[in-house]
Every structure is written in C-alpha cells, then in structure tokens.
C-alpha cells in the first residue's frame, strides 16, 4: 500500500506537534514506520488519506464497539450540537445517562462524569484516599490507568519496596506512595499489603488487563483480591475503562461476579467522544464535592455532546440482548481462524481472549503478567503488523495492546483477516 500523503501529513504535523501526534502510541514507535492519517471511517473500516481501506481492529482503542460513524450516535450528537455545545450548567441528559449507567452496572449507586479514562482513575484514587484516610495505593505492573503521576511508576529496587517514577516529571514523593504488584500473583499482593499494614488505601486493577496484550485474571485472582481487600479494609478499584460496557452490560463485575468498590469507565461510555466516569456505592460517592470533602471538578465534564454520544451508545447496548454474545462469537471465530493458520505455518504463538478483547503474542509461553508478555518476540510482531497493514488490516501498532472487536465486523471481514494472517505468516 502507498502512504505518500500520510507521510507528508506526518512531516507537517511533526513541525508543530511533539512527535507529530497527540498521544505517543500513535507514532508507531513500537513497530517503526510512519503513522497513517485517517480521512474517515465507517462501520468496520478506516479510510486513510491515501485512499486505502483498512479493516480496523483498534476502533479508537475501544470506544467504537458498534463500528465507526454509528448512525444513532452520530444523529444524537448532531441534534445536540444544534442546541449549543457547552453551558457549564446542569442538563437533563446528564441524569439520563447516569440513571442508565447505574441500571446497567452492578454495585454502583452514583456516577460522576469526567473527560477521559485518565481523569476517572486519578479521581477514583483521590476519592479512595480521602474516604479511607490512607495514602498508599497498589497497582499492577503492565496495567495502565492513564498518565496521571501516581500511575507512571516502575518497580523499585525490591519487590516489597515502593516504586520509582518511570517518567521525568513524576516526583519521588509521589512514587513512594505507589506500590507495584505482579498481575495474577496473589501472594505478591499479600506481601505488599503485609509490609504496608494499615497504609494501603486502595488496589487498582484492570479486571481483565488490556495494556500488556489481553491478560485474563487466572485462578480466581479477582475473588482473592476482593477477599484480601475486605480483610484489610482496602478499597478495590476496578478500572473498567476498557472492559466496561464491553465484556457485558455490567462489564467485568458482571462477567466474573466480583464487585469493585469504585469502578472507572472510559472509551465505550462516551460513544467516541471524550468521556470518562467513576462510580461507587452512595456512601463512597457522597464523599465527593460539593457534598463531601474530596475535591473533583471539570469545566467540560458532562458536556452535552459527549453525553448525547454516550447515552445513544449505552441505549443501543442496553436494548440489544444479543450484542455481547455476538461480539464474543465473532472474536472466538477470529481466534480459531488465526490460531489455525499460524499453527499451519509453524509460527509459535499464544493468543489470549476474553469477550471481544484478543491479543496475539509471538514465541511467548502462557502470557499471564507483564514479564511473560514482555518475553514475546517484538521483531516478529513488527513484521506481523506491517504485513497485515499491507494486506489492509489495521491492528494496534504495539505488541502490548489488545485488539478490540466491533460488532460492525462481518464474517467476511473476519475471513479476509484470517486470509491476511495466512499470507503474512509465510513471511515471518
Ligand atoms: C484500562 C485503562 N485505564 C485508563 C486509561 C486512560 O484513558 P484515557 O486514555 O481516556 O485517558 C486507558 C487508556 O487506554 C486504559 O486502557
């Protein structure tokens, strides 16, 4: 495929935007090459600035679960826009979407809308700290909760000591309050809790990890975490920015029958507009300003266009009893098709899948945490990525990302993708 215009646009962008992009993973650093500029998208397809059509497995990193430019969502936004785009005053639609979200998701009474997943997770942690009166948090290596300071932490010198910043600009003072644990390793989490007795406010986790590829919780890990939190008066934060309204109406909480104390949302809940949210039972949410002491705010929070898109999206998902099983069936079909052709072509691989999240890892044994995900062969992944791109299939430009399946994909699209994987496998 030809990317002449994308390359020219990228060169222009680089002059005025750092690295030419407004979010680093878009820059293709993980795979090399020049990012593709999108002109428009419809259903399961992206159309780039060079006139290529790509079957899209990223879907804006998750939000477009029903496909691009989904009519009910677009119509809702257009209608709303005609009536004014922002007021900084309450609107009825905020209550409407809040009621619907609370009715779809288990264990939440109240929800606060923000503008991104980062804000949702950052605010959830502040709320947990304010509510519990404790400072430390535990997060898992390989889980991503946005780019706020407390989360940009890497392992410190010893497993049970505090982490260190993994970005300049994050202070040691902030880093010392974040403890880093190993996903799917309950003994490791127990040791951290024990070593920091009565100091841990919350444990934050992606209940199905999606930021080291797709990594499912194993061996009742979530249940064990829940029990550990209950026994130690620690709040469990489920970061459902990826899994919320994707794995089920009620997200991972519903799928695994485990409750979080605070739940974070992003992506699908905004229907493709900038929306995040966090939610909990009333007692916790009433700790927030203006009725409680924990401060949290936003000029554009609950923005009418964003709420219109999110409401239309949630209404669609709520009204369609089959949508999540349809998504899962398509993802299973893709999984089996890809596994078959990779095996036939003797390519060592592991495929992880939960619901409509899936990832392909090369040369890796079972992928259960960040370390096992990092053992994957990145050179093979790069060839795989560029090979698929050349065949008209767009997957995430990083070996550490999940593919997001959209309901707009037809079985012909899936067969097209499996055939593309077969072609590319012969070159790996
Ligand atoms: C699980 C999870 N939490 C939080 C975030 C941050 O969301 P945002 O990029 O909207 O700030 C992401 C983004 O990919 C995510 O995957």
Cα separation, 269 vs 271, whole angstroms? 6
Among the CATH numbers 3.90.110.10, 3.40.30.10, 3.40.640.10, 3.40.50.150, which is that of 71-319?
3.40.640.10
Contact 6, 14 (CB under 8 A): no
Span 217-247, pLDDT tens digits: 999 999 999 999 999 999 999 999 999 999 9
Tokens of 381: 């992944």
Secondary structure letter of residue 3 according to DSSP: -
Question: What value does the mean pLDDT take over residues 140-151?
Answer: 95
Six token digits for residue 122: 């950052």
Check whether 140 has a pLDDT greater than 70. Answer: yes
Q: Which residues line ligand 1 (CB under 6 A)?
A: 61, 116-118, 121, 144-146, 206, 210-211, 239, 241-242, 266, 276
Q: Does 156 have pLDDT greater than 70? A: no
Distance 2 CA to ligand 1 centre (A): 31
Ligand 1, atom 7, residue with closest C-alpha:
117
| Mean pLDDT (whole number) for 12-16 | 98
Residue 228, token pair as written in the block: 């550990």
CA 133/CA 106 separation, integer angstroms: 26
Q: Which atom of ligand 1 is closest in space to residue 117's alpha carbon? A: 7
C-alpha distances out from residue 103 to 39, 125, 240, 321, Å: 37, 24, 16, 15
Helix, strand, or coil (residue 286): coil
Measure CA of the first residue to CA of the last residue in the chain; give whole Å.
Answer: 19
Note the Cα 247 to chain centre separation in Å: 12
Task: Judge contact between 245 and 317, C-beta under 8 A.
Answer: yes
Helix axes 71-81, 304-319, angle to 10 degrees: 150
Rounded Cα gap, residues 241 and 187, in angstroms: 26
Coil vs helix vs strand at 78? helix
Beta-carbon contacts of residue 189 (< 8 Å; ≥ 6 apart): 138, 181, 182, 203, 225, 228
Phi and psi at residue 362, to the nearest 5°: -105, 140
Calculate mean pLDDT across residues 202-228. Answer: 97
Percent of the chain with pLDDT over 70: 98
Q: What pLDDT, on a 0 to 100 scale, did the predictor assign at position 166?
A: 85
Catalytic positions? 144, 239, 267
Domains of the chain: which residue ranges? 4-69+322-425, 71-319
Ligand 1 atom closest to the CA of 267, numbered from 1: 10
pLDDT digits (tens, 9 = 90+) for 271-318: 999 999 999 999 999 999 999 999 999 999 999 999 999 999 999 999
Give the span between the Cα atoms of 212 and 235, in whole angstroms.
Answer: 24
Tokens of 190: 């127990």
Whether 423 and 387 have beta carbons less than 8 Å apart is answered as yes
Q: What are φ and ψ of residue 43, in 5° steps?
A: 60, -125
Backbone angles phi, psi at 214, to 5 degrees: -90, 120
- Please give the distance, rounded to the nearest whole angstrom, from the Cα atom of residue 301 to the centre of ligand 1: 17
Query: How many whole angstroms separate alpha carbon 314 and alpha carbon 104?
Result: 9
Q: How confident is the model at residue 160 (pLDDT cuts 50, 70, 90)?
A: very low
Span from the CA of 25 to the centroid of ligand 1 (angstroms): 12
Of the candidates 409, 407, 379, 380, the residue with the CA atom closest to the CA atom of residue 394: 409
Residue 411 has pLDDT above 90, yes or no: yes
Least confident of 151-165, 353-367, 398-412: 151-165
- Confirm whether 4-69+322-425 and 71-319 share one CATH topology: no
Tokens of 286: 């009433």
Mean pLDDT of the chain: 96
A 10 A CB-CB count for 422 gives: 17
Is residue 170 within 8 A of residue 147, CB to CB? The reply is no
Q: Are strands 276-280 and 349-354 parallel, antiparallel or unpaired?
A: unpaired
Tens of pLDDT, residues 43-60: 999 999 999 999 999 999
**What whole-number distance in Å separates Cα of residue 294 and Cα of residue 291?**
9
Distance CA 44, CA 67 (A): 5
Query: What kind and span of H or E run contains 316?
Result: helix 304-319
Q: Average pLDDT of 403-412?
A: 98
pTM for the predicted model, two decimal places: 0.97
The two counts, helices (H) then strands (E), for the chain are 14, 16
Q: Band of the pLDDT at 159, cuts 50, 70, 90?
A: very low
Which of the given ranges, 171-175, 222-226, 373-377, has the highest pLDDT on average?
Answer: 222-226
Class level of CATH domain 4-69+322-425: alpha beta
Atom of ligand 1 nearest to the CA of 146: 6
Closest CA to 328 of 354, 346, 291: 354
| Candidate from 62, 63, 119, 144 with most ligand 1 atoms within 8 A of CB, to mutate | 144
Residue 201 exposure: Cα atoms within 13 Å on the Cβ side: 18
* Whether the predicted pLDDT of 180 surpasses 70: yes
Task: Convert the pLDDT of each residue in 102-112 to its tens digit.
Answer: 999 999 999 99
DSSP three-state, residue 222: helix
CB 111, CB 101: distance < 8 Å: yes
């Amino acid at each position: 495929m030809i990317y002449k215009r994308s390359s020219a646009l990228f060169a222009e962008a680089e002059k005025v935007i750092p690295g030419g992009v407004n979010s680093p993973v878009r820059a293709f650093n993980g795979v090399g090459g020049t990012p593709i500029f999108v002109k428009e998208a419809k259903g399961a397809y992206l159309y780039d600035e060079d006139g290529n059509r790509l079957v899209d497995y990223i879907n804006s990193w998750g939000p477009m679960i029903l496909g691009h430019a989904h009519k009910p969502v677009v119509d809702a936004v257009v209608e709303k826009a005609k009536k004014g785009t922002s007021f900084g005053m309450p609107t009825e639609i905020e209550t409407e979407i809040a009621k619907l979200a609370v009715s779809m998701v288990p264990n939440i009474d109240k929800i606060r809308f923000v503008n991104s997943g980062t804000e949702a997770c950052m605010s959830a942690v502040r709320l947990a700290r304010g509510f519990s009166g404790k400072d430390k948090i535990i997060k898992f290596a390989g889980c991503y909760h946005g780019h706020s300071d407390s989360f940009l932490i890497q392992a410190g010198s010893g497993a049970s000591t505090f982490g260190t910043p993994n970005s300049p600009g994050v202070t040691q003072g902030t880093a010392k309050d974040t403890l880093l644990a190993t996903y799917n390793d309950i003994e490791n989490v127990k040791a951290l809790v024990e070593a920091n007795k009565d100091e841990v406010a919350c444990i934050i986790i992606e209940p199905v990890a999606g930021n080291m590829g797709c990594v499912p919780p194993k061996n009742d890990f979530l249940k064990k975490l829940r029990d550990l939190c209950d026994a130690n008066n620690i709040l469990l934060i489920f970061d459902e920015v990826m899994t919320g309204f994707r794995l089920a109406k009620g997200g991972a909480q519903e799928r695994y029958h485990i409750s979080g104390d605070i739940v974070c949302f992003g992506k699908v809940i905004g229907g493709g507009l900038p929306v995040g949210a966090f939610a909990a039972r009333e007692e916790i949410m009433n700790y927030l300003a203006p009725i409680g002491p924990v401060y949290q705010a936003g000029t554009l929070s609950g923005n009418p266009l964003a709420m219109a898109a999110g409401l239309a999206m949630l209404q669609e998902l709520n009204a369609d009893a089959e949508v999540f099983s349809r998504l899962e069936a398509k993802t299973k079909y893709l999984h089996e098709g890809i596994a078959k052709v990779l095996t036939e072509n003797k390519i060592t691989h592991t495929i992880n899948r939960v619901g409509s999240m899936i990832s392909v890892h090369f040369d890796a044994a079972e992928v259960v945490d960040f370390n096992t995900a990092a053992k994957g062969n990145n050179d093979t992944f790069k060839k795989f990525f560029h090979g698929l791109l050349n065949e008209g299939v767009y997957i995430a430009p990083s070996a550490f990302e999940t593919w997001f399946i959209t309901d707009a994909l037809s079985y012909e699209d899936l067969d097209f993708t499996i055939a593309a994987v077969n072609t590319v496998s012969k070159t790996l």
